[in-house]
Amino acid sequence: MTRQITMLAGIDLDRASSMPLYLQLYESIRSAILSGQLEAGIRLPSTRDFAASLGVSRNTVASAFEQLFAEGYITGKVGAGTYVAQIDNATASSPSFAQPDSTQLPCNLSQRGMKMLALRETIFRYRHDPVRAFRPGVPALDRFPVEIWSKLMAQHWRYAQPDLLSYGDPCGYRPLRECIAEYLRLSRAMRCKAEQVIIVSGSQQALDITARVLLDPGDAAWMEDPGYIGARNVFLSAGIDLVPIPIDEQGLNLEVGKLKCPDAKLAYITPSHQFPLGYTMSLARRLELLRWARQSGSWIIEDDYDSEYRYQSQPLAALQGLDDSGRAIYMGTFSKVLFPALRLGYLVVPPELVDVFAAARAVCDRHSPLFEQAVLTDFITEGHFNRHLRRMRVLYAQRQAALVGAAQPLKRWLKVPPCQTGMHLIGWLPEGVDDRAVSGQLALQGIIAPPLSAYRLEPSRQAGLVLGYAAFDTKAIADAIEQTIPILKEIVENLSSPNSQDPSYFSATDALLSAS
C-alpha cells in the first residue's frame, strides 16, 4: 500500500533570507530524502496542498519539485501523484547546485568566482538530462552521418601527420579557417578572409573571449530581452552592466537602447533569427545599429547560431557584410548544424583585432583539438556538410509542421504558430498564466519546455514556452503533446486570470503574432 505524507516536519522557510523560498523548500525536501526521513515510494502532497500548508504560492512548490525531479530525487506520472524516487548511494552523495548557506561558501573566491557561483542554476539545469521533448537547441543527432565522420576520422589517424600531433595555431587549423571564410562569403555575403577567422570551442568560449578582450567590469552592454541565457551568463560573470533592450517584429528596439544607455560599449544581437522569439532584424534596423556603433565607438556581437535552417528562402546575409567600419564581430557554431559534443565554433573579427583575439585564444586553452578540425575540413570540402544541411532543412521543416499540427488540440491554452527559420517555436500562453509554473509541472512528467520568462531580464506580461523540435521525430512530438494536454488544461484553468474565458484573453498574444 502506498504511503503518503500530509506534511513534512522540519520545514522552516525564512522569508527574510536572501535564498529564494523555492530553493529553501528544495533543500528541506532533498535533505529529508537523503537522511531517510522520506523513504523511497512515499507519495508527496500535491503542489496545491503543499503550498496551502506552507503558506506559499503554488509556483514556489512547483519550482522546488521541478529541481528535485530534474536531479532524480522524485518521480511521478500524470494522475498518479509525485513520489520519492529510489536512489542509490552514488546518487545520494552527488553534489547539489542549490543556493548554499553563506556559511558554506568556499573561502576566498574572487568576485568573478562569486558571480559564476550565483549563475550555476541556469548553467547546470540540463547537465545530466537525456534529450527529451521539447528541449531546444539540440539537432537531430540520430540523423548525423556517423559512418562518414568515422571514416574520415579513421583516415586521419591511419595516416597521422606530425603537425596534427603537435601544438597548433591558436587561431585554428588553417585549411578549416579557409573553408569557413569561403562558406561565409558565399552563404552569408560576408567580407572576410581566413586570417580573420578564429576557431573556438563553441559559442560560450567565443563570448567569453570577446568579453575578456573588449569589456571591463562595470562596462554597459545592450542585451536582447528576452535573450540567450548563455550570453547573459558570460557577461554577468565578467561584471558587465547588462541593459535589457526589448524586441519587436523588426528586432532589437534601438530607440529604447539609445534612451536607456546611448554609450553602451557593446550590443549583443541575434539578427537572423532572434533567440528565442524568432524575429528577423529588418535592414533598416541593421543599418541603424551599424551607424550607432560607428558613431559611439561601440562593438556589435552578431550571434548567427542556427540561421542555416531557413525553410522558405536561402539563409540571410549577415550584418557583418554591411559593416564598413569594423565594428561587427561575427560568431557561429557547429553545435547546431552538426553535433554539440564536437565543441567547435568560430569568430570572425575585424583585421585590427586578430592579434589580440589570437592572444586571448592562446591564453584560454592554446587551441581546439586539431584532429577534429582536420576531419571537419574534409567533411566540408568533400561536400558532406552541404548535403547534411539540405537534408536537415527538409527534416526540420517536417518536424516543425508536426509540432504545429500536434499542438492544435492545445490552442485553447497554448498557441504554437509556425516560423520560417530555426529549431524551436514559441508556445504562447494566455495572459495571466505563470509560465514557470507550467514549465515546472511539465518537467515533473519528463517534458522539457523552458519558460519564456527565464530568458528575460525584465518582467513581461507575455508568457510562453520554448519548444524545441529538431531533435525529435513526429511520434516523440505527438506523444509529448498528448502528455501535455491534461497538464496544461488543469494548470492554465487554475492559474489563469479571472477573465480566462473572455474573448480578449489571448488579446496581447494575438496582437504580437499578427505583428510578426
Closest CA to 495 of 440, 450, 457, 455: 440
β-sheet bridge partners, residue 224: 245
Mean pLDDT for 181-199 is 93
Mean pLDDT for 267-274 is 95
Residues 21-38 as b/e (b if ≥16 CB within 10 A, e otherwise) read bbbbbbbbbbebbbeebb
* Alpha carbons 516 and 501: distance in angstroms, whole number: 25
410-433: pLDDT as tens digits: 888 899 999 989 999 999 998 878
Q: Does position 508 have pLDDT exceeding 50, yes or no?
A: no
Query: How far lies 400's CA from each of 127, 167, 186, 320, 406, in Å?
Result: 25, 43, 27, 29, 10
pLDDT at 79: 55
pLDDT at 505: 32
pLDDT at 106: 59
Average pLDDT, the chain: 84
pLDDT at 445: 83
Residues 353-388 as b/e (b if ≥16 CB within 10 A, e otherwise) read bbeebbebbeeeeebbebebbbbbbbbbeeebbeeb
330-348: pLDDT as tens digits: 999 999 999 999 999 999 9
Q: Does position 94 have pLDDT exceeding 50, yes or no?
A: no
Lowest mean pLDDT among 216-220, 309-313, 357-361, 497-501: 497-501
pLDDT at 128: 52
480-507: pLDDT as tens digits: 999 888 888 887 777 544 333 333 333 3
Q: Give me 207's grid cell.
A: 563570448
pLDDT at 514: 31
pLDDT at 96: 39
pLDDT at 101: 45
174, 346 Cβ separation under 8 angstroms: no
* Alpha carbons 141 and 335: distance in angstroms, whole number: 11
Q: Does position 395 have pLDDT exceeding 50, yes or no?
A: yes
pLDDT at 510: 35
Q: Label residue 95 by pLDDT band (50, 70, 90).
A: very low
pLDDT at 499: 37
pLDDT at 307: 83
Mean pLDDT for 278-282 is 92
